[in-house]
Amino acid sequence: SYQLYSSRNFPPLSRTLVMLARLGYGEVEGYHALYVDAAKVAELAELLELTGLRMPTGHFGLEMIEEAPDRVIEIARLLGIGTVYCPALPPDVQPETGVAWEILGHRLAAAGKPIRDAGLGFGWHNHDLEFIALKDGAIPLEAIFAGAPELEWQADIAWLARSGADPFHWIARFADRITAVHVKDIAPAGQNTGEDGWADVGYGTLDWPGLMTALRATRARHFVIEHDNPRDPERFAERSLTAAQAF
C-alpha cells in the first residue's frame, strides 16, 4: 500500500493514483484532508474504481472520530476502508504523565467503540514520542494500551526508530496489537536534509529484511509505504516498492 499523505504536495490526486496503479501498487491509505467534504470523498471513490486501487485502511483525526462517528463509518464503507487509524494527538492534547497517557487511551477506547460496533477495526498510529520515557518513568505507548485493551496498532517503524527505541523489542512486545505497518526509512545522519532526513525504503538505515521477519509474527496484514516529505514522489514510490517486494 501507499500512504497518500506522501504525495500531498504534488496534486492532482488523480495523477498520483494513476501513477501508483501503473507502478504496481494494489492499495492506498487515505488521510484526513481527503475526507473534508462529500464531493472529495465521492471523487476519491470514483478514482479508486477507475484505477483499480483499494483503500483497506484510512487515517481519521480523533476529533472527527469522536464528533462524527457515523460520518467516519459512512466514508469508510464508501471507500472500502476496513480499519480506521487515529494518526496523531489532537493539538490540544499534550500528556506529560503516564496517567495522562492512560486517560488518552480511555478516550481512544470510547471513541473507537462505535467504529468497532460497525464491524470496522480501530487503532492508533504512532510517532516517536510514544517511546520516550516520561519524568515519572512511564512509556506513553504502554500507558495508551493500558487504557485501551482493544486498541489496534499501526506501527510506524521509522518513527519508532527515530525515538531511539529498539523496533524489534516493541514489535515483539505488542505483536498481538499490530494490524498494519508504515514502511518508511531513515537516511544516514546528515543526509537527505531536504527531505527531513527520510529515505526511500531500502535506501536508508533500517534493517527492513530483518524487520519483516519479525513482523511476520504479528497480525499485520497491510504494509503501507510512506515518506513524509519526498522531493520526487514517483521516484520514492517506484524505488520503495521495488525494494519492499524484495524483502
Query: pLDDT per position in the chain (247 positions), as tens?
Result: 999 999 999 999 999 999 999 999 999 999 999 999 999 999 999 999 999 999 999 999 999 999 999 999 999 999 999 999 999 998 888 899 999 999 999 999 999 999 999 999 999 999 999 999 999 999 999 999 999 999 999 999 999 999 999 999 999 999 999 999 999 999 999 999 999 999 999 999 999 999 999 999 999 999 999 999 999 999 999 999 999 999 9
- Alpha carbons 184 and 157: distance in angstroms, whole number: 7
Cell 469522536 belongs to residue: 66
- Alpha carbons 237 and 239: distance in angstroms, whole number: 6
* Three-state DSSP string of the chain: CEEHHHHCCCCCHHHHHHHHHHHCCCEEEECHHHHCCHHHHHHHHHHHHHHCCEEEEEECCHHHHHHCHHHHHHHHHHHCCCEEEECCCCCCCCCCCHHHHHHHHHHHHHHHHHHHHCCCEEEEECCCHHHCCCCCCCCHHHHHHHHCCCCEEEEEHHHHHHCCCCHHHHHHHCCCCEEEEEECEECCCCCCHHHCCEECCCCCCCCHHHHHHHHCCCCCCEEEECCCCCCCHHHHHHHHHHHHHHC
| Angstrom distances, CA of residue 45 to CA of 32, 41, 54 | 15, 6, 9
Give the per-residue pLDDT at 192.
Answer: 96
The residue range of the domain holding 232 is 2-246
Q: Going by C-beta distance under 8 Å and a sequence separation of 6 or more, which residues neighbour residue 155?
A: 126, 170, 171, 174, 178, 180, 181, 182, 215, 218, 220
Q: What is the CATH number of the domain that holds 29?
A: 3.20.20.150
Give the per-residue pLDDT at 8.
Answer: 98
- Alpha carbons 159 and 226: distance in angstroms, whole number: 11
Give the per-residue pLDDT at 227.
Answer: 98
- Alpha carbons 136 and 180: distance in angstroms, whole number: 30
pTM of the model: 0.97
Number of domains in the chain: 1
Cell of residue 104, nine digits: 488518552
Give the per-residue pLDDT at 233.
Answer: 98
Give the per-residue pLDDT at 92.
Answer: 85
- Alpha carbons 81 and 121: distance in angstroms, whole number: 9
